[in-house]
Amino acid sequence: MLSHASFAPDFPMTQTSTPSTLNALQSAPAPSGEWVVAALYQFRAVPDAPALHAELKRLCTTLGLCGTLIVAPEGLNGTVAGSRDAITALHTQLLTLGFDRMEYKESRAPAQPFKRMKVRLKKEIVTLGVEVQPRELVGHYLDPEAWNDLLDDPDVVVIDTRNRYEHQAGTFEGALDPQTDSFREFPQWLDEHADQLKGKKVAMFCTGGIRCEKSTSLLLQRGYQDVFHLQGGILRYLEAMPVERSRWQGECFVFDERVTVGHGLQPGQAEMCWSCGWPLKAADRQHPHFERGVSCEHCYGDTTEAQKAAFRERQQWHDEQQGQGRRPEVTP
């Protein structure tokens, strides 16, 4: 049996922001304290993606946001941060533009989590590389409670659809790790492991839910029948599930300067290796090849001494900026 996503009907995008959204927030200043971080996506036909791209670029610049938004003919995806008023204004405008079935989550960051604002126009809002139908054909959505129940089913194969460096930070017990470096590699992994999944219930999860919209659609197109995914992803699970009943192990990698988050979406304890991007736990930072901002055990042998020297200079500059209380300037 298949379940279908509930999305708003397709209609042309308006290209003009509502005055009430923008008048109160012209050139909004950066937050002086805590930042609000909004992760969002919706698959929805966008008849004029370039026009929406231009509109959102202008809006995000006006609101003083940082982060990334991806616009494509199939919808919208991104994570952005700003003041409480700025994030509310963006959310309101997206609803006005017809994105009223968004998967939308908010969390907090103690400091600016992204260096600048990027609004990108692409072919896909999450790149799988093969054609699927995430608006018409998707697996069964499970809320966190139902997900916990499914994890106890012996006939279920649980798949972590994220990349291997994300899996490194944390995952659900017993989940398969496809060891991918890109979501584009997932279709090939599926082909190579078809025998392992044949006749099984398949449950998939990812950070915010968007990759599973496409991965479940892919499985259904290839003839799998009992396909499930965690609605809202790990972030929704960590937000809703009490620690004492949680089946999550570790922290969740996020694509900003917090590196990871834990239960309640509180900033985690991991640090990122700024040479290769791996999330490093406390034990990883004790490895002899770890040098903050320069290398870790995963990449030490991949860079030259000249590159390491340049990374040390970069880290020194970063430490000096932090010591002076400066943050990178947010630019469109």
- Catalytic center residues: 206
242, 246, 252, 254: CA torsion to nearest 10? -40
* 277 contact partners, CB below 8 Å, separation of at least 6: 165
**CA–CA distance, 285 with 291 (Å, rounded to integer):** 8
Q: In this structure, what token pair is assigned to residue 319?
A: 């430490």
Is 255 exposed, middle or buried, given 0-12, 13-18 or 19+ CB atoms closer than 10 A? Answer: middle
**CA–CA distance, 2 with 238 (Å, rounded to integer):** 26
**CA–CA distance, 175 with 49 (Å, rounded to integer):** 36
State which amino acid sits at residue 212.
C
